[in-house]
Amino acid sequence: MTAVPHQQIDPAVSAFLAKPRGHWIDNKVVAGQGGKVAVYDPARAEVIAEVPDGTSAEVDAAVAAARRALEGEWAAARPADREAMLYRLSELIAAHGEELAQLETLNQGKSIMMSRMLEVGHSVEFTRYMAGWATKIEGSTLDLSLAFPPGVRYRGMTVREPVGVVGAVIPWNFPLIMAVWKIAPALACGCTVVLKPAEETPLTALRLAELCAEAGIPAGVVNVITGRGETTGAALVSHPGIDKVAFTGSTEVGKKIGHAAIDNMTRFSLELGGKSPVIMLEDVPVEMAVGGSAMSIFFNQGQVCTAGSRLYVQKRIFDDVVGALGQAASAMTVGSGFDPNNQINPLVSERQQKRVCGYINQGLAAGARAIAGGGPGDGPGYFVKPTVLVDVDHSMSVVQEEIFGPVVVAMPFDDLDDVAKRANDTVYGLGASIWSNDMGKVMSLIPRIKAGTVWVNTHNMIDPNMPFGGFKQSGYGREMGRAAIDLYTETKSVCIAY
Ligand code: NAD
């Protein structure tokens, strides 16, 4: 394993880590009064920072700041002002790109290339895209047929208003991207935000909040409160001062959050887990099938909500594709994300490493066979070898449950009926991919797959302009594109008699 050479760390990252850590409320660092949460470098299993474990009083203070901003200076900002501020934020993310990328790799573990290209690159483009929406929100005028009283005519219109104070709770797999996915559309729509990052990965969200202030976004519009999910997160999502909960995370926690939100009739959207099928039809060249399957599952160490964790390969090419995939997985280099040559980097935490290895062991105990990987990589970091399991039964936990690690189960299928049935045979419905150049077959499969996104000859591709979300237990609501505007606005109908 390659350790992180200290001299390569950007001085801005060291300076940020050396500063006293607190919550970010009203554009100021606010010290926590409760306990602390240790933040790790998962490649070395070392503590790199501590953040406050937010108390309910601290959540109250953040929500109050967001409410003051919503009803004060932020309400007075014109759409063009919001657009300009978000645009400045995108420029600042780009200008501080190397610092943010290094901070992310240090704390999350992912490849520095992915941090640069995706965490930073996508965040810049997404924020810029959402900046544009601030000036394009519209309602409609409506012809009305009301008949009474005689002689009176009516005109209706709809107006989009900001939904209000947003409580956003996000996971640790793409920490910076998840933060901008919540903050940018909320601000474009005129909302204010209290964001709780995952306890494992709070650092880039805290740095992003500083950049929001530098972009001229007024105090109280973006607040970040750190802490654990079951305490700080639960206090935020059940807070009566929150108008909307925007959650990304596991289905298990998403259900709890939905229940908590409905008690206050708080609006909510849930982006949850997945167990996405990758379907390789027999016309796909073996090399393409292997590259596509590997990219679908091993990207970000499989810690991707749409990870292609169930691979269905048509019988005629199954042995060739899966054999070559096993060889490719066994040859992957495992090590620190700071060495761009490493293809598999650590998982985010020891807890996640144990969880993933626990699933692998369950699969092996139930009769599955590992043709690659099958357990942890060399420590001290939280590595798991890229793993390909075969001889699985569809009822096994490794086939049905989200593992969220570099583990794929590979299964042969006979025909389109067989694969459509099995692709839909989990509680999830987030993503799916179909690989083939036989467009007749592809087009007949697309409507049969119950998933929020179906990719064809690609996987895991997410664009700011394409709605994203889940069918079934993978979520509620759609992010991205115009759909994001629906999430962060209320529709008001106006009826004018004249
Ligand atoms: P998680 O559900 O354990 O935690 C997510 C967030 O919720 C964290 O900030 C956590 O602190 C907080 N939380 C935990 N319990 C809470 C509670 N009772 N009340 C309020 N907040 C609480 O998920 P995770 O392990 O951090 O992330 C992995 C999960 O996220 C996977 O299931 C993955 O599929 C999902 N995910 C979904 C998408 C999507 O867009 N659909 C994207 C990324 C990740």
Per-residue pLDDT 10s for the chain (498 aa) are 444 554 578 999 999 999 989 999 999 999 999 999 999 999 999 999 999 999 999 999 999 999 999 999 999 999 999 999 999 999 999 999 999 999 999 999 999 999 999 999 999 999 999 999 999 999 999 999 999 999 999 999 999 999 999 999 999 999 999 999 999 999 999 999 999 999 999 999 999 999 999 999 999 999 999 999 999 999 999 999 999 999 999 999 999 999 999 989 999 999 999 999 999 999 999 999 999 999 999 999 999 999 999 999 999 999 999 999 999 999 999 999 999 999 999 999 999 999 999 999 999 999 999 999 999 999 899 999 999 999 999 999 999 999 999 999 999 999 999 999 999 999 999 999 999 999 999 999 999 999 999 999 999 999 999 999 999 999 999 999 999 999 999 999 999 999
- Classify burial at 145, counting beta carbons within 10 Å of its beta carbon; exposed 0-12, middle 13-18, buried 19 or more: exposed
Cβ–Cβ < 8 Å for 484, 185: yes
Same domain for 316 and 336, yes or no, is: yes
Whether 260 and 295 map to the same domain: the answer is: no
Whether 178 and 293 share a structural domain: no
Residue 400 belongs to domain with CATH number: 3.40.309.10
Same domain for 427 and 297:
yes
- Rounded to whole angstroms, what are the CA distances from 274 to 256, 304, 360? 17, 9, 17
Cα 275 to ligand 1 centre (Å): 15
Same domain, 97 and 232: yes
pLDDT of residue 465: 97
Query: What are residue 433's DSSP bridge partners?
Result: 278, 455
Number of domains in the chain: 2
- Pair (239, 300) in one structural domain: no
Q: Read off the tokens for 434.
A: 């179909």
Query: Does 94 lie in the same domain as 25?
Result: yes
Q: Is the CB of 404 under 6 A from ligand 1?
A: yes
CA distance 131 to 282: 44
Domain check: are 217 and 143 in the same one? yes
Closest CA to 470 of 255, 176, 281, 287: 255
Residue 329: inside a domain, yes or no?
yes
Would you call 271 a catalytic residue per the annotation? yes
Q: Does 198 contact ligand 1 (Cβ within 6 A)?
A: yes
Q: Is residue 1 part of a domain?
A: no
Same domain, 127 and 263: yes
Rounded to whole angstroms, the Cα distance separating 24 from 166 reads: 15
In a domain, 440, yes or no: yes
Q: Does the annotation count 495 as an active-site position?
A: no
Q: Is the Cβ atom of 172 under 6 angstroms away from ligand 1?
A: yes
Cα-to-centroid distance, 168 and ligand 1 (Å): 11
Quote the CA–CA distance of 314 and 410 in Å, as a whole number.
11
Please tell me the distance between residue 27's alpha carbon and the centre of ligand 1 in angstroms. Answer: 26
Domain containing 83 equals: 6-272+474-495
Residues 458 and 489 in one domain: no
Ligand 1 within 6 A of 355 CB? no
The minimum-distance atom of ligand 1 relative to the CA of 196 is 9
Q: Are residues 63 and 13 in the same domain?
A: yes
End-to-end CA gap in the chain: 76
With respect to residue 468, please indicate whether it lies within any of the assigned structural domains: no
One of 83, 99, 200, 271 is an active-site residue; which one?
A: 271
The predicted pLDDT at position 9 comes to 87
Distance 272 CA to ligand 1 centre (A): 7
Atom of ligand 1 nearest to the CA of 474: 41
258 CB under 6 A from ligand 1? no
Q: Which atom of ligand 1 is nearest to the CA of 404?
A: 31
Q: Which atom of ligand 1 is nearest to the CA of 469?
A: 41
37 lines ligand 1 (CB under 6 A): no
What pLDDT is recorded for position 5?
Answer: 54
Q: Where are the beta strands (DSSP E) in 216-262?
A: 222-224, 244-248
3-state secondary structure the chain: CCCCCHHHCCHHHHHHHHCCCCEEECCEEECCCCCEEEEEECCCCEEEEEEECCCHHHHHHHHHHHHHHHHCHHHHCCHHHHHHHHHHHHHHHHHCHHHHHHHHHHHHCCCHHHHHHHHHHHHHHHHHHHHHHCCCCCCCEEECCCCCCCCCCEEEEEEEEECCEEEEECCCCCHHHHHHHHHHHHHHCCCEEEEECCCCCCHHHHHHHHHHHHCCCCCCCEEECCCCHHHHHHHHHCCCCCCEEEEECCHHHHHHHHHHHHHCCCEEEEECCCCCEEEECCCCCHHHHHHHHHHHHHHHHHCCCCCCCEEEEEHHHHHHHHHHHHHHHHCCCECCCCCCCCCECCCCCHHHHHHHHHHHHHHHHCCCEEEECCCECCCCCCCECCEEEECCCCCCHHHHCCCCCCEEEEEEECCHHHHHHHHCCCCCCCEEEEECCCHHHHHHHHHHCCCCEEEECCCCCCCCCCCECCCHHHEECCECHHHHHHHCEEEEEEEEEC
Q: Are residues 33 and 102 in the same domain?
A: yes
- Tell me if 288 is assigned to some domain: yes
**Structural domain includes residue 469:** no
CA of 271 to the centre of ligand 1 (A): 9
Does the beta carbon of 430 sit less than 6 angstroms from any atom of ligand 1?
A: yes
